Amino acid sequence: MSELVNPTVNTRPIALEIENLVVGVGKTGAGKKIIDGISLQVREGETLCVVGESGSGKSVTSLSTMGLLPRDSLKAIGGSIKLVGEDVLQATDRRLRELRATTMAMIFQEPMTALNPVVTVGKQIDEVLRTHTNLGAGARRAKILDMMEQVHLPDVKRIFASYPHRLSGGQRQRIMIAMALVLEPKLLIADEPTTALDVTTQAQILKLIRELQKDHGTAVLFITHDMGVVADIADRVAVMRHGRLVETGALKDVLSAPTQDYTRNLLSSVPSLIPRAAREEVGFNPVVLEANELGKVYRERSMFGKPREVHAAQDVTLTLRKGRTLGIVGESGSGKSTVARCIVRLIDPTSGGIRLAGREISDLSRHALQPHRKKIQIVFQDPYRSLNPRITIGESICEGPINFGTKHSVAMARARELLELVGLPPDAVSRYPHQFSGGQRQRIAIARALALDPEVLVADEAVSALDVSVQAQVLRLLDDIQTRLGIAILFITHDLRVAAQICDDVAVMQHGRVVEQGPAAEVLANPQQPYTRQLLDAAPGRGWDFSNFRAVDGSAAVPAAV
């Protein structure tokens, strides 16, 4: 394992040194070892990215450092975690509380829930100062406002007095960062801090963390599952799997010459931003789905004054042919899910038309729509919540066909076939959702959708909740099913990498409108609209071609975090 040979970083004092950390399940830690002998080191002014898939133990490592492990279920039973020389595993509760925010601080994944909803954000930052310093009210306020300026929040005085729900996700994460850094800790732990954010916001937050790190010389332990983010922010990388360290080294070394198979696989699973070549259209493929100037307006009734109107979708026109995949790409609030739900008629569009297999369905009543429902099926984002936990997989898959008059025994036989098709054992029919992993559940959800032999499959962020290696498998499965069954797929995603690899055509949405649409190879390789360009520029890790272990020519191949 080669370390980064950068004299300016390598000679700086060590802020965090984890040695042989072991964390076990249970009050005494006697159960299964979640972390099994991890050793890490972060120097001041350096960013170490801990990367791994779910269950790798990366978050447990960071919580151990903060002393925030849930007391009755996890316990550190071996090794040491030295924070500027002091072992936090041996520290008393009181000492730990003193160290938090002053010497080590943490920011979390979900800015939407990490702030107390009933306290103004200014007060929440103030609490840090009141707990750890003796500053007077005026001095504290001045310090907070200064810190809020440093994280580039606009109109700081107004935001100081705002409640969290008045702020956007990006603004909330800035507040979290301000709160973490206001006392200039030596170590900042960032646990997936940009995962819940849109790409453009993510790019800004990453830039901010780099900037503040440079100004304050903070050591950053950055937890992420996203190789793109790693490429953009890390000095060094540590790859974790099943509670063990797989590989550690300088960013460039790990990305360009991984020594371990697991790292190789992980990198190969990252979808490339370069769009795949468009598939040739074999003969004439009939149009199976058309959306014509589709619109959805939400009206908020108000007791006094005019009702407020929100245009969730406006003038959306799309065409999808048999056997093709159309991607709808956009950030949160762009209206992509609204369009998907209108097309499936889970919600009713306020204007425009939807033609499904040549039949106008936008104005059909619920009853008249029923026979057409089987032609279009949807797979949702969260496989943990989209399957009914109380009924077996088989019953879940059969429910649709039985509603359309198929005999139970026939439907069950078909369910077995479908499970095989999606790569699961046929006897899974008698099991329950909790017995399967996230990726398996998404396969089940796909089997359920296919049970009705639909002509169109709508995948609403269907791979977003999955780890990259699992994501790659599910994407391959969708591709395979499409080739075999000739199904048309409407693929809703926020992830440009995924879109580049699976879509024939893409439509980019912003503020409820389609801003650009065309063949994926053109739109994503040569965007015409500024918004599309902005999205592509913000995509993390665009300097790297991960699966080929090399930097992409002509762009910022050198990581910006130097």
Partner 1 sequence: MLGYLIRRILAAIPVMGVVALFVFLLLRLTPGDPAAIIAGDNATPEQLDRIRTQLGLNEPLYTQFFSWVWRLLHGDFGTSLISNVPVLQMVNQRIEPSLSIALCVMLVSILVAIPLGVIAAWKHGTWIDRFVMALSVLGFSVPVFVIGYVLVQVFAIELRWFPVQGFRSISRGFGPFVERITLPTIALSFVYVALIARMTRAAMLGVLGEDYVRTARAKGINEGGVLFRHALRNAAVPVITVIGTGFALLISGVVVTESVFNLPGIGRLTVDAVLARDFPVIQAMILLTSGVYVGVNLLIDLAYALLDPRIRY
**161 contributes a contact to partner 1 by CB under 8 A:** no
Residue 92 parent element (H or E) = none
Task: Report the C-alpha gap between 136 and 359 in whole angstroms.
Answer: 71
**114 contributes a contact to partner 1 by CB under 8 A:** yes
Rounded to a whole number of angstroms, the minimum distance from the CB of residue 232 to partner 1 is 25
CB closer to partner 1, 163 vs 262? 163
**10 contributes a contact to partner 1 by CB under 8 A:** no
Interface characters, 303-322, with partner 1 (x: CB under 8 A): x-------------------
Tokens of 385: 């919540």
Of 354, 332, 357, 328, give the one whose Cα is nearest residue 342.
Answer: 354
User: Out of 5, 28, 118, 280, which residue is the one contacting partner 1 (CB under 8 A)?
Assistant: 118
Tokens of 454: 């639909």
Rounded to a whole number of angstroms, the minimum distance from the CB of residue 186 to partner 1 is 14
CB closer to partner 1, 68 vs 137? 68
Q: Is 63 helix (H, G, I), strand (E, B) or coil?
A: helix
Q: What is the DSSP letter of 71?
A: T
47 contact partners, CB below 8 Å, separation of at least 6 = 210, 213, 219, 220, 222, 233, 234, 235, 236, 561
Region of 93-101, 210-218, 432-440, 472-480 interacting with partner 1 (CB under 8 A): 93-101
CB closer to partner 1, 100 vs 416? 100
Rounded to a whole number of angstroms, the minimum distance from the CB of residue 180 to partner 1 is 8
Task: Report the C-alpha gap between 177 and 189 in whole angstroms.
Answer: 10
Question: How would you classify the pairing of strands 86-87 and 74-83?
Answer: antiparallel
Cα pseudo-dihedral 544, 550, 553, 559, rounded to 10: 50
The residues in 63-92 that bind partner 1, with binding defined as CB under 8 A, are 66, 68, 72
User: Out of 49, 83, 101, 240, which residue is the one contacting partner 1 (CB under 8 A)?
Assistant: 101
CB closer to partner 1, 10 vs 73? 73
Alpha carbon 185 to chain centroid, angstroms: 28
Task: Report the C-alpha gap between 353 and 86 in whole angstroms.
Answer: 66
User: Out of 81, 108, 323, 401, which residue is the one contacting partner 1 (CB under 8 A)?
Assistant: 108
How crowded is residue 405: how many other Cβ atoms within 10 Å of its Cβ?
7
Cβ atoms of 100 and 65 closer than 8 Å? no
Of 158, 123, 153, give the one whose Cα is nearest residue 141.
Answer: 123
Rounded to a whole number of angstroms, the minimum distance from the CB of residue 176 to partner 1 is 7
**127 contributes a contact to partner 1 by CB under 8 A:** yes
Rounded to a whole number of angstroms, the minimum distance from the CB of residue 160 to partner 1 is 15
**187 contributes a contact to partner 1 by CB under 8 A:** no
Q: How many residues belong to the site for partner 1 (CB under 8 A)?
A: 30
Rounded to a whole number of angstroms, the minimum distance from the CB of residue 64 to partner 1 is 13
Tokens of 44: 């001041």
Q: Which residues bind partner 1 (CB under 8 A)?
A: 66, 68, 72, 96-102, 105-106, 108, 110, 113-119, 127-128, 131-132, 163, 165, 176, 179, 303
